[in-house]
Structure 1
Amino acid sequence: MARVYLETSFFSACVSDRTDAASVYRREQSRQWWARQRERHQLLISPEVLTELSNPVFPLADLAMKMTVEIEILPLTQEVRGVAKILVGEKVMPGPEESGDAVHVAAAIVHRVEYVLSWNVRHLANMNKLEHLRIICQRLGYMPPMITTPEVVWGT
């Protein structure tokens, strides 16, 4: 059973009502992953996911928040905050260091999560960042998580 961190964009894709081709694809892939894979893995989120989903401008937030009810919440410890700061400082993740992408990745790193599922291909599920992330994690004594979109690893 793999430890899988679900980043905010995963939930957003699941509940999206957008009709453009890319959004429809992400919604279908995310829903299929949720239906087929969620029981096979230890699902994890952080308070950062809940904060982002509870933003009043987030469309369909209620539906997304309902999906998180039974998912384990990883604490955002000082260690997580410190790693987030390093990720921003080393330009692996964009700032700010106290929220967003850096916090998602830092939580996954510190809590030894194997996979991060995200549709954020600019900053998270970006093959160009993986080697840089691996180097920083190695220097800090951590193993980096595999950051990927839902269909890549499990082929929904």
Structure 2
Amino acid sequence: MKIGDLAKASSTPVETIRYYERQGLMPMPARSEGNFRVYEASHLERLQFIRHCRGLDMSLDEVRELLRFRDAPESDCGDVNALLDAHIGHVSTRIRELRALERQLKELRQRCTDARSADRCGILHGLSAAAQEKTPVGTKAHGHLRSVHAH
């Protein structure tokens, strides 16, 4: 199949497929006489695996490591377990950060409960005050909002 067919079959943009190839996640396909990429069912299966891992918010490095183990089925999967445990830890941290962000946004939202002129908007004033204070990310000081979403 050509790259457009692979893209359609996997619901993946062509540029993403090419990116995964450049990153070494997808093996380079054979070429036809007309120099078109020719993909096999194994490419589709691998692409679906990559997309599923990315859907689980795994980094490209984590996906690369999982593919390395997948490509060596006789290897011990202890490192796969460790990788997933570490990823779960990252997800737990991110959930905590997002909950803190949600609390901060709700606190900010309470600063302006009704429609008024923008120069009297409590939300805009709160955002401006927080932006000017330069307090470290993820902290609260003087009752102003701090961002935990710094990455």
**The TM-score by the shorter chain falls in which range?**
under 0.3
Higher-RCO chain (CA-CA 8 Å, sequence separation at least 6) = 1
Q: Which has the larger radius of gyration?
A: 2
- TM-score normalised by structure 1 residue count: 0.24
- Larger proportion of helix: 2
